[in-house]
Amino acid sequence: MFTLMALPYAENALDPVISANTIGFHHGKHHKTYVDNLNNLVKGTDLEGKPLEDVVKATAGKADKAPLFNNSAQIWNHDFYWKSLKAGGGGAPGGKVADAIKDSFGSFDEFRKQMSATTVSQFGSGWGWLVADAAGKLKIVKTGNAEVPLTQGLKPLLTIDVWEHAYYLDHQNRRADYVNAVIDKLLNWEFAAANLG
Ligand code: MN
């Protein structure tokens, strides 16, 4: 059985950028629904009992497996999103992530500009990502709906959810305000460093 990941912080920890009200719906309703759906969908299939990431990879790009992919990938994406955020995060990182950002983007300001612009410009529902490619170079990519960069050979380091349910209660149509506040105040650089390896 797949389970709903416990939040790594209290529902109000990310306030005021992301309110307890938003997190209550986002984690307790939207994220939980993907878990409930996937548990129903895998029943009796050859994917029953497989790890989540295996389900995501086995169903990616297969039209007849779209419900399995959408729900498994959305669980993976949300687990990753909650860990990408922390109270008192954001701003410029230190250590090896700072070095990788300087090598890949030239400066933290350039990273910030690209992370914001690419994530804000995702048309419709989706995600903005900081990833590392196979050569270890960092890039910013966006994905639509449930799509996830790990099916494209990219290693995710951090993500920002830009489905409207992630920000509409707090910021309404002002997606850029939400994205910029996440970058400046909530990104969990320790999580990015652990993912960079
Ligand atoms: Mn979401």
CATH number at residue 186: 3.55.40.20
Distance, CA 78 to ligand 1 centroid (Å)?
6
pLDDT score recorded for residue 114: 98
Distance, CA 161 to ligand 1 centroid (Å)?
6
Distance, CA 33 to ligand 1 centroid (Å)?
11
Q: 104 and 190 share a domain?
A: yes
Distance, CA 99 to ligand 1 centroid (Å)?
30
List the domain range (segments joined by +) for residue 65.
Answer: 20-83
Q: 109 and 176 share a domain?
A: yes
pLDDT score recorded for residue 113: 98
3-state SS record for 54-97: HHHHHHCCCHHHHHHHHHHHHHHHHHHHHHHECCCCCCCCCHHH
Distance, CA 138 to ligand 1 centroid (Å)?
24
Q: How far apart are the C-alpha atoms of 28 and 188, rounded to whole Å?
A: 22
Is 187 domain-assigned? yes
Tokens found for residue 191: 């999580």
Distance, CA 118 to ligand 1 centroid (Å)?
18
CA angle, residues 158, 148, 100, in degrees to nearest 5 = 35
Q: 119 and 181 share a domain?
A: yes
Distance, CA 75 to ligand 1 centroid (Å)?
9
> Could you read off the pLDDT tens digit of each residue along the chain, which spans 197 residues?
999 999 999 999 999 999 999 999 999 999 999 999 999 999 999 999 999 999 999 999 999 999 999 999 999 999 999 999 999 999 999 999 999 999 999 999 999 999 999 999 999 999 999 999 999 999 999 999 999 999 999 999 999 999 999 999 999 999 999 999 999 999 999 999 999 99
Which string of DSSP letters, residue by residue, matches 104-168?
A: HHSSHHHHHHHHHHHHHT--SSEEEEEEE-TTS-EEEEEEETT--GGGGT-EEEEEEE-SGGGTH
Q: 127 and 168 share a domain?
A: yes
Is 13 domain-assigned? no
pLDDT score recorded for residue 50: 97
pLDDT score recorded for residue 58: 97
Distance, CA 29 to ligand 1 centroid (Å)?
10
Domain final residue pick, 83, 103, 134 = 83
Place of tokens 């687990």: 79
pLDDT score recorded for residue 49: 95
Distance, CA 106 to ligand 1 centroid (Å)?
31
Q: 157 and 101 share a domain?
A: yes
Distance, CA 100 to ligand 1 centroid (Å)?
28
- CA distance between the termini of the chain: 29
Q: 108 and 41 share a domain?
A: no
Amino acid at position 177, single letter: D
Distance, CA 163 to ligand 1 centroid (Å)?
6
Q: How far apart are the C-alpha atoms of 174 and 6, rounded to whole Å?
A: 28
pLDDT score recorded for residue 47: 97
pLDDT score recorded for residue 122: 97
Tokens found for residue 105: 């983007």
